[in-house]
Amino acid sequence: MTERTFVEYMVSDPASGPYAITTGPDSALWFTLVHSGRIGRLVHGQEPIHHQLARDSGPTVICTGPDGALWFTQYRAHRIGRITTAGEVTEFPLPTEECGPFGIAVGPDGALWFTETAADRIGRITTQGSVTEYPLPRTGAFPSAIAAAQDAMWFTMNQAGAIGRIAMDGRITVHELPTDAAAPVGITVAQDDTVWFTEIAAGQIGRRTPDGQIIEYPLPDRKARPHAITTDADGSAWFTEWGGNRVSSITGDGIITIHDLPTPASEPHGITVGPDGALWTALETGALARLAPAPAVTETTNSAVPTEKRNLS
| Domain segments of the chain as ranges | 6-295
Phi and psi at residue 14, to the nearest 5°: -60, -30
DSSP secondary structure of 222-269: TTS-EEEEEE-TTS-EEEEETTTTEEEEE-TT-EEEEEE-SSTT--EE
pLDDT at 71: 98
**Cα–Cα distance, 155 to 157 (Å, whole number):** 7
For residue 302, what pLDDT is reported? 37
Residue 5: the pLDDT is 87
DSSP, res 149: -
- Among residues 130, 136, 161, 166, which one has the least CA distance to residue 148? 166
User: Could you tell me if 192 and 236 are in contact, meaning their C-beta atoms sit under 8 angstroms apart?
Assistant: no
Spell out, as residue ranges, where the chain has pLDDT lower than 70.
1-3, 296-313
Residue 106 is predicted with a pLDDT of: 98
Q: Assign domain 6-295 to its CATH superfamily.
A: YVTN repeat-like/Quinoprotein amine dehydrogenase (2.130.10.10)
259 part of the active site: no
217/255 Cα distance (integer angstroms): 9
Among candidate residues 190, 193, 255, 186, the one with its CA nearest the CA of residue 220:
255
50 is in an annotated binding site: no
Q: What is the pLDDT of residue 295?
A: 73
Alpha-carbon distances of 201 from 37, 142, 193, 225, rounded to whole Å = 28, 14, 25, 6
Rounded CA gap, 146 and 154, in Å? 6
- pLDDT at residue 222, as a whole number: 96
| 88 labeled part of a ligand binding site | no
CA distance 107 to 102: 16
The pLDDT assigned to 4 comes to 78
Which phi and psi angles does 16 have, rounded to 5°? -75, -30
pTM of this prediction? 0.93
Alpha carbon distance 175, 137 (integer Å): 12
What backbone torsions phi and psi does residue 15 show, to the nearest 5 degrees?
Answer: -70, -15
Dihedral-angle region of residue 307 (phi above 0 means left; psi in -120 to 50 means alpha; beta otherwise): alpha
- Residues 241 and 200: their CA atoms lie apart, in Å, by 9
Does the annotation flag 133 for ligand binding?
no
